[in-house]
Structure 1
């Protein structure tokens, strides 16, 4: 008989695969940015939010914080490298004012994550306490990551165009959220459930908007741009009990 733990592990592995696909989904957008040598109206916020989210889950998955979380480290470490590359490309083709904004946000993120790690290691002396503190922060930033496209949804409603809300990103985000919700419910884990549950709802809302406005987008917009993607996912730790749990 197949146990719930085995099912949960399989779901977690599938979630890792989907999360990896989510990290790669913005590639068409960045190919367009490179070819046009301009970021146009694309926003760096989703990628900066995803980068912070990955850094927090990497901290969560460290053996000194949450032991036996190899899958959390691998998927979020991979996500960190991919998002860093996206941001580097975005930075290269952004105007000076936007570059300064990106640098400021990056600096704040690095300082924050460093402070969290130092504070947890210095002030929390058990794995349980460290897991609780970092897990709560991961929920907060995972939720922020999923909420980051809200500004794009507002633009879609105002312009009645989906040019700057990639379908592929919204679709993969939806699959990612559903998978990790199932994972968290198989052995209840609130840290995974909250951000991925919200992510599923927001992604469903984006898909609804896309279906409403994809045919009303400007006629001069190449069809391929309708699917330009944007960030993570949440990728859990299938593997132990939570997260990349996230």
Structure 2
């Protein structure tokens, strides 16, 4: 049983690495376009915290080498992803994301490590960190629900990368199996949830892959709105120009300061003149 769990753990490591590297293509596009467009930073910030805590859990638990190594690699990759996101995110999102990273990936993680090492002993350490890891892994798997909502709303799978969903499905399934073999429920419960959510994402992908339509980014929407305003302003200027060419408008615009009675007679005379001109009199 021990050898089988080790083999499953190795397979889980390989799949986890593939899952952790799947956003590379996304971030290449972010760097190329110098914009995060409508991509969300929350899944990467959440995963960074989760992988960091799982690395700590693997250090604390006897026989946790497989858990420690794969999550250490995942944490390193997500540090890079988060940095790229912060560089290219819009200013308001960047400020919010920096605050979130400082709060959860620096302050919260640091407090957990200090309390665990200084105030707790033995199994209590593993229990506390295991519960936190399980909760955060559920958060990591639940975070893409916003992307699923976007897919349903826009009928486009652009912002739900296929390989991320696929490897979440595989990763959840393999690590759930590993957890059953070694009887580690801190690993089993969250990865079971991840397996279910990954399955739902793949179902959505199949449903909307062929129905996808181009989704405008925030920059593209602003550019179109600006063009619409320019066209509207141009039409207004053209309309004003046409009015200035109208003989009635020209005469009214050129009318000197007159009294009410004189102005009424003057305007009526111009209307009659313009009417004769238009019908060929």
TM-score under structure 1 length normalisation: 0.84
- Structure number with the bigger relative contact order (C-alpha 8 A, sep ≥ 6) is 1
How far is the alpha carbon of 1:218 from its aligned partner?
1.0
Equivalent residue of 1:164, what SS? coil
Provide the residue aligned with 1:237 in structure 2. Answer: none
CA distance in 2 between partners of 1:202 and 1:138 (Å): 18
Q: Which of 116, 120, 125 is 2:116 aligned to?
A: 120
CA distance in 2 between partners of 1:40 and 1:85 (Å): 18
Provide the residue aligned with 1:14 in structure 2. Answer: 11
Q: Does 1:42 align with 2:33?
A: no
CA distance in 2 between partners of 1:172 and 1:7 (Å): 21
Provide the residue aligned with 1:73 in structure 2. Answer: 68
Alignment deviations for residues 29-63 of structure 1 (CA, whole Å, 9 cap, x no partner): 1111111111100001110010000111122122x
Provide the residue aligned with 1:146 in structure 2. Answer: 141
Unaligned runs of 5+ in 1: 222-246
5 Å-filtered alignment, 1:1-246, equals 4-62=1-59, 65-109=60-104, 110-126=106-122, 128-218=123-213
How far is the alpha carbon of 1:118 from its aligned partner?
1.2
State whether residues 9 and 66 of structure 2, in contact with CA within 8 Å, keep that contact through their aligned partners in structure 1: no
Change (3 A) 1:59 1:219: closer
Alignment deviations for residues 139-172 of structure 1 (CA, whole Å, 9 cap, x no partner): 0001000000001101111111111011111001
CA distance in 1 between partners of 2:215 and 2:100 (Å): 34
Number of aligned residues: 215
Cα RMSD for the two superposed structures: 1.4
Higher-Rg member (1/2): 2
How far is the alpha carbon of 1:129 from its aligned partner?
1.1
